[in-house]
A and B are shown apart, each in its own frame.
Chain A
């Protein structure tokens, strides 16, 4: 069994409690930086060494992101955690909040110390009310123990942290939509630049990271960036929690070293259900390109390997489809999702996502036309890169990759008005 950085509290009947977190080294990192009066530069250097890349989907190096924040800015600054997990296939942050909320809290406090921020918010996905309550309880525990609040552990450093409950909008996972939502507005993404590092929450410098990203920070500070890096592979430091869904025997979250071969992960998830054959895998959440099984079986689970294979690690959400899945139907459901969740600000995304959905839908209904595939490709290409946020690209990517790898299924549907044999 490989070392766990985050899901390391599970051998206890109440894994998410403060006492259990302290048992596995919790809050030692915070004590260490306060006792040693560690400099921001030194902490950022460790995070850079660790090779930690953002776990929210884009994979941006966390140390670099932190170094962008103006450290000598005199006014308020904010630390924001993105727990608005709503990318189809992703359910790891929910488990982190359940089994180890204090790792997120400690990671955010350390970020506050490092970046000179005194206040933070964790934005929690609307649908997981019990996790929100659980997180609020964890915050109470941390306050009572003196880890949060004024003059933490007798030092001159103060940090307040609160939970903010979302209410059902996928787009609020996009970081600037999330900030708008935190300000009590509609969750519509902002034009960038300016980036949150200079103009974030309430117009102040803000660092925003994913739940899992923050949860890795205490380990890195406690053990050094090098140790974290060595858990994974160069440029892909650490472990990663992969959410496996679809037609496997044991869907679940698995924390494994980056660089683990995909077949090993598939085995952890119990292998294919009913002894069927794997047809395809969407390895990073519904917004990343689908890969056929034969390509997927040769990949290792890390940013570089999946990029080389033509997809992305994304949020580490591994959707596995067997040979009974009709790829037209699968794409139709995903296209509906992006159409439904587009915030409507940009014409190419608002109109294009609806157009894509309607065309895939008519192919599925047996009313497809021969020119439809070229139309889908054309519309997709006209969305990509022409919108305020990446949801536009996310709507186009599945369409392009599904047609690229499964064109014959679409053609068969148009020709014969039904799925290829054996699929539904």
Chain B
């Protein structure tokens, strides 16, 4: 198990942000970068990151399982997280959560049969004024979602 040169270069950039004896501070970014390359964080990926940073493997596992955006289980090709917390939910003019569930024929927490989409009910993303908000694959935020925009988004995601 290793990561590609591009990922390693990105991780090295993160390490450089912290004092020389505090490489562990880069673990959150390193796991994010590893997850982006591999799709999810398998045990050997987490171990690789821990070894790379010279930190105990168990400490890297703890981080990977503590923060919500790491996937320590394999999931669909595209992870769709929709915020359903109160400020967002009362702002919705249409029930886009129901729309997504119907369209994908899954419930929250499930993956479509073809393995393409996982739908997750999320917590506040700090973007409540743009409700309904969704995050696609951890990095892309989609604002003011409507059924039409959801259709477009799903068609665009290969």
Q: Are A186 and B69 interface neighbours, CB within 8 A?
A: no
Please report the C-alpha to C-alpha distance between residue A183 and residue B17 in the assembled complex, in whole angstroms: 12
Tally chain B residues at the interface, Cβ within 8 Å: 44
Closest to B64 in A: A167
**Which residues of chain A come closer than 8 Å to B32, judged between CB atoms?**
165, 167
Please report the C-alpha to C-alpha distance between residue A118 and residue B6 in the assembled complex, in whole angstroms: 30
Say whether A162 faces chain B, with CB atoms less than 8 Å apart.
yes
Q: Which of A40-48, A52-60, A104-112, A122-130 contacts B (4 or more CB under 8 A)?
A: A122-130
Given contacts A91-B128, A186-B66, A187-B66, contact A251 B90 (CB under 8 A): no
Closest to B27 in A: A184
Q: Are B123 and A341 interface neighbours, CB within 8 A?
A: yes
Q: Are B91 and A251 interface neighbours, CB within 8 A?
A: yes
**Which residues of chain A come closer than 8 Å to B118, judged between CB atoms?**
none
Closest to B127 in A: A91
**Which residues of chain B come closer than 8 Å to A322, judged between CB atoms?**
90
**Which residues of chain A come closer than 8 Å to B2, judged between CB atoms?**
none
Please report the C-alpha to C-alpha distance between residue A183 and residue B26 in the assembled complex, in whole angstroms: 8
Say whether A94 faces chain B, with CB atoms less than 8 Å apart.
yes
Interface residues as binary, B25-50 with A (CB distance below 8 Å gives 1, 0 otherwise): 11111011000000000000000000
Say whether B140 faces chain A, with CB atoms less than 8 Å apart.
yes
Q: Are A202 and B126 interface neighbours, CB within 8 A?
A: no
| Cβ 8 A contact of B129, one of A91, A127, A164, A184 | A91
Closest to A161 in B: B17
CB distance from A92 to the nearest CB of B (A): 9
Q: Are A168 and B25 interface neighbours, CB within 8 A?
A: no
Q: Are A246 and B87 interface neighbours, CB within 8 A?
A: yes
Tally chain A residues at the interface, Cβ within 8 Å: 54
CB distance from A94 to the nearest CB of B (A): 5
Please report the C-alpha to C-alpha distance between residue A185 and residue B63 in the assembled complex, in whole angstroms: 6
**Which residues of chain A come closer than 8 Å to B86, judged between CB atoms?**
88-89, 286, 319, 330, 333-334, 337
Q: Are B124 and A88 interface neighbours, CB within 8 A?
A: yes
| Cβ 8 A contact of A184, one of B24, B69, B87 | B24
**Which residues of chain A come closer than 8 Å to B138, judged between CB atoms?**
126, 129
Q: Are A245 and B88 interface neighbours, CB within 8 A?
A: yes
CB distance from A36 to the nearest CB of B (A): 31
Q: Are B129 and A183 interface neighbours, CB within 8 A?
A: no
Which of B26, B67, B86: most chain A CB closer than 10 A?
Answer: B86
Q: Are B19 and A185 interface neighbours, CB within 8 A?
A: no
Given contacts A167-B32, A183-B22, A246-B90, contact A126 B127 (CB under 8 A): no
Interface residues as binary, A78-108 with B (CB distance below 8 Å gives 1, 0 otherwise): 0000000111111101100000000000000
CB distance from B133 to the nearest CB of A (A): 9
Closest CB pairs A-B (n = 6): A168-B68, A184-B24, A168-B69, A127-B125, A245-B87, A162-B17
